């Protein structure tokens, strides 16, 4: 087992401890799983007001060069070159076989050539090494280990953040720019991992404690841990890398074909393009689906999905109780003939077949602010 002394700490570690967080190992870091209110209250508070998450364990970097967007397209099927000033895009990092090495965010900040990239914590070192090697001579990747990252999520997030820089109200969904939050220079994007409206705030590590305390001082804001972050993203139908997607899954199987740019589909100039376009046109053999568990027993990761004859046709990749749904929910991969919404299947829980139904995702409607007044 990993001892706490072996784990890395984010710049907000002391604040988490002071707030009474229960700390757990996660992606090589000691991270808060919950605070005094508990996971369900933290989850519901984020859905109704605003929650502050420490996501400083994520990997941040810049990518620069004569044409960093074109260079990055060597490892992703996203239309990075099509990014306009102040625009951010969800993208997939692919291996040569079309498997997903990671999912990440890439932004082109207004009037800046270099791209800003955010990757997952558990894969950041391998991601950065892979990108740097594949783009050698075309672009330069510079990791930003001295930056922290906060996420302010929920329907009151805009009101809260506007008290610190009103210009953030001009940001529409998946837009990004430079602002000052609680006096600190920040890169702010209107995005997140909960399905709610919200923002991600990149700041220098030495500013993290000050900015976090300023936001937590607002009456609508509670600190939120990893437990509620996971249940929120599951209700929103969002993938967790290493669980719902990995190098054994393709974008088509994972229902992430939207991340392949239209221009890229036409050009077929991305890793494993022929395989992925064939899957897109002919259908993959399996698909990621949502499941509603029809009794009160949650279906956990790894549980087998069976058809009416008892034959295994899939496996759960994420499962939990959905506090906003009021029932157990899950994500799973199943053979494509069983992937239609409403299909009645069963999940094996402690040796018993429990009824489940394939359900559309998200389980809770997304509430992103898509309009924009400026950036």
Cα 3 to Cα 15, 26, 95, 261: the distances in Å are: 20, 12, 33, 43
Residue 232, both tokens: 């929120």
Percent of the chain clearing pLDDT 70 (strictly above) = 98
Q: What is the DSSP letter of 53?
A: E
Domains of the chain: 4-57+146-235 (3.30.1360.120), 285-359 (2.40.30.110)
C-beta neighbour count of 161 within 10 angstroms: 28
> Has this prediction a pTM greater than 0.85?
yes
DSSP conformation letters of 139-174: -EEEE-TTEEEEEEESTTHHHHHHTT-GGGGG--TT
Cα 186 to Cα 164, 171, 183: the distances in Å are: 11, 14, 9
Q: Kind of pairing, strands 50-54 and 221-223?
A: parallel
Flag whether pLDDT at 192 surpasses 80.
yes
Cα–Cα distance measured from residue 115 to residue 137, given in angstroms and rounded to the nearest whole number: 16
Segment holding 127, helix H or strand E: helix 124-134
- Tokens 């090589």, residue? 28
Q: What is the pLDDT of residue 3?
A: 61
Provide the pLDDT confidence category of residue 213 given band limits of 50, 70 and 90: very high
Residue 32, both tokens: 């808060």
Q: What is the pLDDT of residue 97?
A: 97
128-152 pLDDT, tens per residue?
A: 999 999 999 999 999 999 999 999 9
Q: What is the pLDDT of residue 374?
A: 46
Cα–Cα distance measured from residue 74 to residue 76, given in angstroms and rounded to the nearest whole number: 6
Taking the CA atoms of residue 166, residue 58, residue 365 and residue 86 in that order, the dihedral angle to the nearest 10 degrees is 40
270-324 pLDDT, tens per residue?
A: 999 999 999 999 999 999 999 999 998 999 999 999 999 999 999 999 999 999 9
Flag whether pLDDT at 1 surpasses 90.
no
Residue 182, both tokens: 């609680």
Q: What are phi and psi of 304, to 5 degrees?
A: -80, 145
Cα–Cα distance measured from residue 320 to residue 249, given in angstroms and rounded to the nearest whole number: 22
Mean pLDDT of 140-165: 98
């Amino acid at each position: 087992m990993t001892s706490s002394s072996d784990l890395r700490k984010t710049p907000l570690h002391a604040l988490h401890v002071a707030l009474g967080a229960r700390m757990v190992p996660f992606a090589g870091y000691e991270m808060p799983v919950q605070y005094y209110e508990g996971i369900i209250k933290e989850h519901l508070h984020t859905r109704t007001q605003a929650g502050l998450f420490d996501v400083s364990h994520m990997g941040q970097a810049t990518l620069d060069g004569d044409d960093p967007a074109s260079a990055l397209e060597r490892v992703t099927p996203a239309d990075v070159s099509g990014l306009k000033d102040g625009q951010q895009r969800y993208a997939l990092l692919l291996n040569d076989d079309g498997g997903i090495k990671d999912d990440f965010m890439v932004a082109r900040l207004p009037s800046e050539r270099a791209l800003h990239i955010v990757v997952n914590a558990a894969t950041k070192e391998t991601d950065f090494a892979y990108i740097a090697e594949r783009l050698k001579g075309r672009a330069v990747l510079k990791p930003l280990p001295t930056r922290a990252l906060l996420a302010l999520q929920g329907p009151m997030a805009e009101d809260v953040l506007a008290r610190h820089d009103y210009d953030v109200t001009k940001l529409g969904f998946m837009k990004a720019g430079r602002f000052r939050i609680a006096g600190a220079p920040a890169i702010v994007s209107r995005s997140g991992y909960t399905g709610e409206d919200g923002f991600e705030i990149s700041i220098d590590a030495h500013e993290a404690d000050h900015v976090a305390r300023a936001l937590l001082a607002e009456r609508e804001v509670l600190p939120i841990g990893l437990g509620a972050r996971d249940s929120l993203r599951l209700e929103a139908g969002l993938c967790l890398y290493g669980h719902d997607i990995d190098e054994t899954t393709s974008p088509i199987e994972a229902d992430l074909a939207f991340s392949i740019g239209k221009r890229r589909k036409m050009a077929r100039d991305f890793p494993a393009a022929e395989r992925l376009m064939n899957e897109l046109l002919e259908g993959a053999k399996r698909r990621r689906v949502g499941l509603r568990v029809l009794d009160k027993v949650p279906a956990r990761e790894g549980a087998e999905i069976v058809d009416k004859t008892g034959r295994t046709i899939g496996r759960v990749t994420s499962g939990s109780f959905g506090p906003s749904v009021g029932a157990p929910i899950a994500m799973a991969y199943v053979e494509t003939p069983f992937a239609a919404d409403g299909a009645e299947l069963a999940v094996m829980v402690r040796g018993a077949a429990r009824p489940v139904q394939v359900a559309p995702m998200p389980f809770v409607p997304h509430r992103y602010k898509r309009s924009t007044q400026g950036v």
